[in-house]
Every structure is written in structure tokens, then in C-alpha cells.
A and B are shown apart, each in its own frame.
Chain A
Amino acid sequence: MTIPTIRRADVCAVALAEIFRGDGEILANPIGTTPMVGGRLARATFEPDLMMTDSEAALIADDVAYGWGDDKVLETWNPYRRMFDIVWGGRRHVVMTPVQIDPYGNMNFSAIGGTPEQPKVQLLGFRGGPGNTINHTTSYWIPNHNAKTFVESVDVVCGVGYDRAAALGPTSSRFHEIRRVVTNLCVIDFATEDRRMRLASVHPEVTVGEVVEATGFDLVIPDSVPVTRLPSDDEIRLLDEVIDPEGRRLREVPEP
């Protein structure tokens, strides 16, 4: 008898699906390979009313996570300019991937080091980070959990964290929510009094010590850390046969 192995990428996909639980009829906008797979999984199972993009100018009903053909099922036209209407109207939950993130969820993917006039490493720029985080729910995906990404202080705040949001006061911060950070090792939330990152669960076969070592600051560690929810047989079938038949998530999150 073979013992079925739990693939780490599937655990990550399920954890990324779980961030959308309860979101209802909004735009689920997970950016990146495994987030796209996770978002599709949420819609195909427990959040059927989510709307999702084709990464271009349409919202589509297809369950497959990428590579749609001309027969994709369009629900609506959503060019870039229309996206801002959704962002500023708040009916969106985005998943972005930081280059740096700090204990309160301030996020950077703009530049590293140097000065605003002359960065040491120019990355993407601010993109939509400031607008997303101040207007609607945000989560983060970090496919390679390490101490260079989880830092005490980020070089440029592109995405607003809880301490910065609190400093703005209740009016300006009323739409701000960083729901979760999902990595290849664990799930992190902000369920602490001062909204500092807390280890919410570790993926199967990951130890708390491993997470602590890969994080460049002190995470809040509860007395008992649960294991991330395992994929069901139905979820694994959906992932393998419908949502990600090419297994792109398995390439992004290789087995440890």
C-alpha cells in the first residue's frame, strides 16, 4: 500500500483559498501562480460568488487558473482603468508578493537600499501597493520564506501595515485590512493586540523552529500552533484535473 503524500504546493493552494473564505461577491485578485490557483480553488468550492480576472481586461468564470483560450467565459469587461473603480470602491481582495515585509505588514516591492533619488536596486516601483492596501483587503504570498524578505523594517513602504494604518486614525484606516500572509512554510495572521504578525499555522512537516529561523524578526508564537488545513480528496482532484492540470504550482512550490 502506498501512503499518499501531501504535496506542499497543495497545502499552500488550500491556505491561499482559505484567505477568501467569507468574501462573497467581490473581485478576488490573487496575483501570481499559486495565488491564482488558490483563488480558483476557493471559487470552485466554498466561495462560488467570487469574481476573478484573466490577468488582462476581463473577469472570467473559468475554473482553470491560467492559459485560457478564446472560449474563456467572460462575465464582464474590466480594463485597467475600470480596475481602479473596483479598488477604490473596495470590493476587492488582492494578493501581492512582497520583496520585503515587516512585523506589522508594511510591504516593499519598489526598491532596495540607496535613496529615492538613486536606489541601490530598482524594483517594480510603487505600482498599486499604496492604493490597494488603504482601500480594501490585502493578503500576501511569499513562495520562499526567508529572513531577507521578513525584515524588521522595509526600505520603502509600498503597502501600508497595521502600525502605519493605526497612526492615520480611524477615518483614514477604516478600509485597511491585511488578512493573512501565506508562505511555503506557514500561515501568518495579525490576530494580536498591537497587530503584530502571529504564526497562525505551520504546514505539515514544518517545525515552529524552522519558521522562526527563516524570519528576520520575532513573530508572536502562540502556546500551541496548529497545522495548516490539509487538502481534501476533492480539492486535490480539482487542483490536478481542473484548476492546475499542468502543475505550475508544483514548480513554484517544490517539495522540501
Chain B
Amino acid sequence: MTAMADKRCTADDVVARLESGMTIGIGGWGARRKPMSIVRAILRSDLTDLTVASFGGPDVGMLCAAGKVTKVVFAFVSLDTIPLEPHFRAARQSGAVAAEEYDEGQFLLALQAAAWRVPFLPTRVGLGSDVGAHNPRLATVTSPFPGPGGLPAEELIAVPALELDAALVHYNVGDARGNAAFTGPDQYFDDLMLEAAPTGGRFVSVERIVPTAELRASAGCDHRLRINRMMVDGVVEAPNGAHPTSCDPDYGTDEAAIAAYAATAKSAEAWDSYRQEWLTLPDETAYQSKLRATREGRS
């Protein structure tokens, strides 16, 4: 009998399957449920020249500050409680990273078009605004159908497919085969990110891996079983792996850690010292141990 695929791997295994120059989609939203353990593995690696597509938070800021990024595909980059991501701003204002800007709904359509393997999806979103002037990939398309009430046919924005080379997302619970569930309030766009990436480049980290037979009970509700194994090439067990972002209901945002990270945008020295202390540890286990030790020291 042929064995079922066991897709368990480490964050460093994931990074070994990525390449410099890739376009990488990162799941989550702002400072919420970011696959930070894999982002930390990228920060430890020699990967460079990345295009990062993200409903952006500290994932984007850290990768920009570390010089890993050539282009950011975004509608916003925010730390939630700190509305503007300071490292991302610095990278944009110095001209260090290029931008491919979207309205956040256009971003959804770009991922959906890639997932459905169509060249674009039409929308009214973007008409009249400067988003098309900022993003030359956006085009216009005239509806083949008559307009409403005898008006001329509608001109719409054509949002091109955002084809990723890899996608990284973080969920609450999964199995070894790549099925996974979110148990917090929002799925965000993680499943679309995975579907917009090709076979071989789709990775999910989870708070905990359980046997498939326990997945439904762990999810608590059928509707949360949003990621299935056809969408996934590798599963990383990463408890507290979204830190410092939130992973509701397992844990909230570590606001003190977010604030400390944000403060390092003040100077190159502050960032270097933060990176040295937190982002050059040998692996995720070391990061989590240092975090626990720091918290015990605090209390």
C-alpha cells in the first residue's frame, strides 16, 4: 500500500524551497495571524530580491528593513494599533522598494483571478481614482453588454491575475497532510493566497498539528475547515508562530513587542541591535525560548 503524503516540515525546510527573486504571498492581515515563524526563517536566510504581496503588517516591514525586498504589492501596510508601519514607510521614502499598489478589493480580485486561472477580473473599483496611474498593470475593459437603462456599455477596471511563486500562511490547527482550520473570527485571504501559488510553493504553518480524525473537533465547526490538502505542499508546526502578531483565539497581539519593533525604525543602529537580538537566532525554537525567558524576566 502506498503511504499518504506527510507534508510536515520546518520553517527552514520551507525557505530551502524558496528562491531569490520570487513573488511571495504572505497571509494574515495587518498585525493579525502572520506566518512569522517562516518570515523569521527568511530573515535568517540569504534569500533576496523578493516581491512580497501582503495585506501588510510587520511581515512586510521586517523583510523591507532587512533588505530582502525589491517590490511590495500592497493596498496598505499597518501594525493596527500603530496605523503606519514605520520600516515599510522608511523603505518607500528612501526609494529602496518599488510598489505595486492596489485598492484592497482589487487585491482580492487579483488573487482570485490567479486562483481561477483567468487573466483578469472586471470591477468598478479604481475608476476615477489615481490607483491606475500608480499601478500600470491595471487596465480598462469595456463590457460586451449594453449599459443599464440604455446607457452606453460600462467601462470597467481589469485587475490582472496576481500569480505568486509561493504562498505562506498561518492557521490555528492542521493535520500532517495539509488540511487546516482557522478558529478565530476571520479567515482573511489565506486560502486565496495558497490557490494563487503553484504546486510546490504553498506552505501553511499551524499552532498545532492533530490527527485528521481530530481536526473537526479541534476546529469546533465544519465551516472553519477552510484549507484543504490540495492547496498545500508543506505544513509547519509552529506554536506561537504568529508572534508578535495575533492568532485569535490562541493569543492576541503582543503589543509591547510590536511597539518595541516599531521603535527600531528610529535609527539603523536600533534596527541592527533588534535584528541581532531577535532575528539572528539559529532557529524558531531559540526565538520562542528567548521570548519565554524575556517574559519570565518581565513578570
Q: A56-B186, A134-B124, A169-B152 are in contact. Are A126 and B84 (CB under 8 A)?
A: no
- The interface residues of chain B lying within 8 Å CB-to-CB of A156 are 130, 134
* Cβ proximity bits A156-178 to B, threshold 8 Å, 1 near / 0 not: 11111000110111111111100
* Cβ proximity bits A136-171 to B, threshold 8 Å, 1 near / 0 not: 000000000000000000001111100011011111
Q: Which of B43-51, B70-78, B161-169, B198-206 contacts A (4 or more CB under 8 A)?
A: B70-78
Task: Give Cα A247 to B75, complex, Å.
Answer: 32
- The interface residues of chain A lying within 8 Å CB-to-CB of B134 are 116, 126, 156
Q: A122-B88, A124-B76 are in contact. Are A172 and B127 (CB under 8 A)?
A: yes
- The interface residues of chain B lying within 8 Å CB-to-CB of A122 are 84, 88-89, 92-93
Query: Which of B94, B126, B186 contacts A130, CB < 8 Å?
Result: B126
A171 touches B152 (CB 8 A): yes
B92 touches A57 (CB 8 A): no
**B residues 83-111 touching A (CB-CB < 8 Å):** 83-84, 88-89, 92-95, 98-99, 101-106, 108
B103 touches A129 (CB 8 A): yes
Q: A134-B128, A156-B130 are in contact. Are A79 and B186 (CB under 8 A)?
A: yes
A133 within 8 A of B: yes
B103 touches A157 (CB 8 A): no
A206 within 8 A of B: no
A164 touches B108 (CB 8 A): no
- The interface residues of chain B lying within 8 Å CB-to-CB of A110 are 101, 130
Q: A122-B93, A126-B131 are in contact. Are A172 and B126 (CB under 8 A)?
A: no
B83 touches A157 (CB 8 A): no
Most B Cβ at <10 Å: residue of A58, A80, A164, A167 = A80
Min CB gap B156→A, angstroms: 8
A167 touches B151 (CB 8 A): no
B29 touches A117 (CB 8 A): no
Q: A79-B185, A123-B84, A131-B103 are in contact. Are A160 and B29 (CB under 8 A)?
A: no
- The interface residues of chain B lying within 8 Å CB-to-CB of A167 are 128
- The interface residues of chain A lying within 8 Å CB-to-CB of B102 are 126
- The interface residues of chain B lying within 8 Å CB-to-CB of A111 are 92
B189 within 8 A of A: yes
A171 touches B126 (CB 8 A): no
Min CB gap B72→A, angstroms: 10
Task: Give Cα A134 to B29, complex, Å.
Answer: 24
- The interface residues of chain B lying within 8 Å CB-to-CB of A125 are 74-77, 101
B280 within 8 A of A: no
B294 within 8 A of A: no
Task: Give Cα A84 to B133, complex, Å.
Answer: 23
B276 within 8 A of A: no
Min CB gap A109→B, angstroms: 10
Most A Cβ at <10 Å: residue of B29, B105, B152 = B105
A131 touches B106 (CB 8 A): yes
Most B Cβ at <10 Å: residue of A77, A88, A170, A172 = A172
Known: A87-B105, A118-B94. 17 other contacts (CB 8 A): A57-B185, A79-B187, A81-B188, A118-B92, A122-B92, A122-B93, A124-B84, A128-B75, A128-B103, A130-B103, A130-B106, A130-B128, A131-B103, A131-B123, A134-B127, A171-B153, A171-B155
A135 within 8 A of B: yes
Query: Which of B104, B187, B189 contacts A131, CB < 8 Å?
Result: B104
B289 within 8 A of A: no
